[in-house]
Structure 1
């Protein structure tokens, strides 16, 4: 074989091997349960999702010792991600525990991948029988707290019980006056035996947030559907297959925030803080990573204050965006917040970090609680002399900048611990990508010019709706809320200062000013959100075109409302 041919064959084989390795590495497999806590006699659904191109069903053999397995299903989907096709397969199986207690679900083999370890808590069978048990179909609803506080996140659960198979149906839960109600997650489906009868149960979860104190009436949930009627029933016009059910109305007594409650107001069942990872030492000019985790029982991510480290003398701190994992546990919301901080010392010696501290209100005990992290101390070693001088020069000439997403860009000198060759390669590919983008935009210039002649008012209908504004008032951060208000103006406003100038209602302008103080000036986020909900309950009131005039004063707060600013997440 010619040497060039051998070399080509070698390179092709290496390329093929690397492609196979990358294809196998790109496959992702995960497993999860639709519920983590069940009662004896109930079923739980185990879901397994894999992106492997090889279609191999999971091996359920390790589960047969602790569970009865029924209802095997699978679904295969094809999707296009970044110009590449990907196959995703979802497997599901219903598990009925053979015993009570904590049961471990071992890793299962799916082709060449394995799922992670899971756990399921199985409680004793409840002796309480629902009031309407025995009917073909009935509904029960409950709150995780019958006497919540104002702005407390209440878990609201609606369960539809059906003894007959359902062909179709509609389950509705109306929102009460004086509270916001938002559906959370997907429906959970399982089987429960009640009074010797087997029911299929559909469990739907909601997030209920009371907006004012006093009695709160939650409307009853309703169901209208159709079961599997017989052939002769349909033939002779007998509508016996129709099913209807309605739950009983529920009443909650909402308590006001106590006078001695800490601010910002944070009603919770529990709050835990911990260091997920800490560096062993710091070096001048090098970035070290510190990760903080907060787990709040009874809150959503929008209700939590921002995780922020106290100032460290001689150390620059660059926070990453907060990562939020929201779940529904024991009938109420639970959120885990994770945030990484890059620590870059500017001088040698000793660095001291005082512990983070968050105060909250214990809704069960009715008392002030405090969650804190211990103080940390690190020795700061001197980095390489050349890189230290370069870092000092770059730090004085070009300080770190904050990006639009709220993250900090570490100076080039702080990257001495990384491989700069790889960084240069990444920058080269970024430059090529930018060149391609500019070339594509240049080719699209005529189309963009023609499109620019369209009226500015052609905004998506969903952005302009009052329902979206209400969702933003209840759950979005202040940055998204400002974005929604700008989009609702006609024509759309370029910033929140323009929204202020075009609003006709003084209460709405005062509420926005309170929001801006909370975003940029350390104001009270929960109080500002309460003012916004009250002022914009009926939607924004705009001035007429003749009465709107540009303000001669400079903007009161920094511009850029369309982005989530540093205070964009501080809401009530």
Structure 2
């Protein structure tokens, strides 16, 4: 009887655990356009893993909703099935101005409010208005500069329902053309007919000055046929449309333009984080952000800080975020720098300056950050050497302040300490001797961790946290190497010593960010999470016996005599 109940109880406990496990639903909402004309529609998209349809009640009063649609997808995430549902609804604003799409409830979750700008209806009527299907294209700038990023938009107007079709925009000679974002679809009344408009966006960059000829976009597809076509099993009427070719007058770069040449609609610089104080030999973090309207990440110059007297600067790889706004590319570039003062005293950073060309005003501009000044304080007592600092950079103690830094040292070692203070060369010999007394292997120059204390003791978790918060990525790895017992000679040995797979993955992510173009911000966040409770080391026996490769000759047992 007990044997029959045990499987049932096990199943009930497992089911109860699954029901009790917290389910974190993911819900997000977005608009296919954030600026429309009066009389047009905008599509509100809602993606969620929660159960239950959205409540569109809060939209009444500001919008007319129509064309509800939904699509469900299934996927497996971390071994479990996840159902995602995408809801779409067409919204027609009832007034002009800046209107907020309110927060909506979806199965107990809520979406974020979304701003929408509604402009007055345009009086311009397309030349082909009244046809069943027609196309048009336009640029956001009719006379751009060479190498200026131009927003190119192609629109397909259809007054009949479409079954299938394809839009093709040939690339012009003398310019690069790249599609960006997803197609937007909305409706609009033109010349007494209701049209469904499909809008496709491109990025156009002229490569030389002069007249640029852009071929017209083409459409081929099928629409719903009449009664007899449907009755006899027809596939619908064939539809074709072609936009007229367009011509842009590309201007050359002016002679007085700043170099490197950077044509933009706008450029902003700002400090994201600045250190409030600096201490000699201790790293502090400074973060700079540049936002460019009308450029991609590839067009942006590298963010480099001006020289700071008496301060070493260690930059991390740049992080960029690209988007497409109002028909133009937009990029935000962020870069972090570690500042390491060499000595106490005043320090001044002249503000970063970037020259650019204002394509609207046709004038040279300069984006600049304000200067920063600090009074560098003396190094903190017991602070670790900064990343890249050498023992010779540490100032010797003042006369009369000599004290035993290495803890309990026997009388035979004291003469060596006095000789080390007088001669810097013998100081290194004393350090190697101390490491040998502790049982550590003698490391060659360049193998010993740079952050190892001069007294031979290992670093603590407090110092690891300081390196994760304010040091560069190299100092994080060096601190971990110095925390091992004995200190790890290189990164490979450090990976062999760590027992936690998540901590080994965090170290590998840091190395990819340092040397292979990985994401430094994500690597630092992963390291903070993995080492929140300190490193987990393997036992000495396991680390010593575990070999990376199997033995060349298998071990055979010796026969007994």
Q: TM-score range by the shorter chain?
A: 0.5 to 0.7
For structure 2, the 5+ residue unaligned runs are 1-12, 394-447, 452-470, 485-493, 506-514, 521-561
Which of 361, 382, 391 matches 1:386?
382
Q: 1:433 maps to which residue?
A: 501
The answer as to 2:114 corresponding to 1:46 is: no
Q: Secondary structure at the match of 1:374?
A: coil
Q: What is the deviation of 1:390?
A: 8.6
Deviation at 1:565, TM superposition (A): 13
Equivalent residue runs for 1:88-99 within 5 Å: 88-99=84-95
Flag the 1:343–1:137 CA change in 2: closer, same or farther, 3 A: same
Aligned to 1:69: 65
1:206 maps onto 2:202 in alignment:
yes
Alpha-carbon shift at residue 149 of structure 1 (Å): 1.4
Report how far residue 84 of structure 1 moved: 5.6
Structure 2 Cα separation of the partners of residues 383 and 122 of structure 1:
58
**1:394 touches 1:411 (CA, 8 Å); kept in 2?**
no
Evaluate the alpha carbon distance shift between residue 413 and residue 234 of structure 1 in structure 2; reply closer, same or farther with a 3 A threshold: closer
For residues 478 and 207 of structure 2, what CA distance do their matches in structure 1 show? 47
Rate the CA distance shift 1:320–1:190 in 2: closer, same or farther, 3 A: farther
Greater gyration radius: 2
Deviations 1:92-135 (A, max 9, x none): 22211111111122333334443333211110000111111111
Q: Which residue of 1 aligns with 2:355?
A: 359
Q: Distance in 1 between matches of 2:365 and 2:386?
A: 47
1:131 aligns with 2:127: yes
Residues 36, 289 of structure 1: alpha-carbon distance in 2 compared, 3 angstrom cutoff: farther
Select 2:266's aligned residue among 265, 270, 279: 270
Separation in 1, partners of 2:129, 2:31: 27
Q: Indicate if the aligned counterparts of 1:318 and 1:410 stay in contact, CA closer than 8 A.
A: no
Q: Which among 32, 35, 47 is matched to residue 34 of structure 1? A: 32
For residues 223 and 395 of structure 1, do their structure 2 counterparts lie closer, same or farther at Cα, with a shift above 3 Å needed?
farther
Question: CA–CA distance in 2 between the matches of 1:199 and 1:108?
Answer: 28
Whole-angstrom CA distance in 2 between matches of 1:55 and 1:335: 36
Equivalent-residue separation in structure 2 for 1:132 and 1:218 (angstroms): 19
1:122 aligns with 2:118: yes
Q: Which residue of 2 aligns with 1:173?
A: 169
Q: Secondary structure at the match of 1:62?
A: helix
Number of corresponding residues = 414
Report matched runs for 1:101-500 at 5 Å: 101-233=97-229, 241-283=237-279, 287-381=283-377, 384-388=380-384, 408-412=472-476, 431-433=499-501
Cα distance per residue 1:189-241 (max 9 Å; x no partner): 01111122111000000111111111111111111111110241366798971
TM-score, length of structure 2 as denominator length: 0.65
| TM superposition shift of 1:389 | 6.2
Q: CA deviation at 1:341?
A: 3.2
Long gaps (5+) in structure 1: 1-11, 401-406, 421-425, 438-559, 567-572
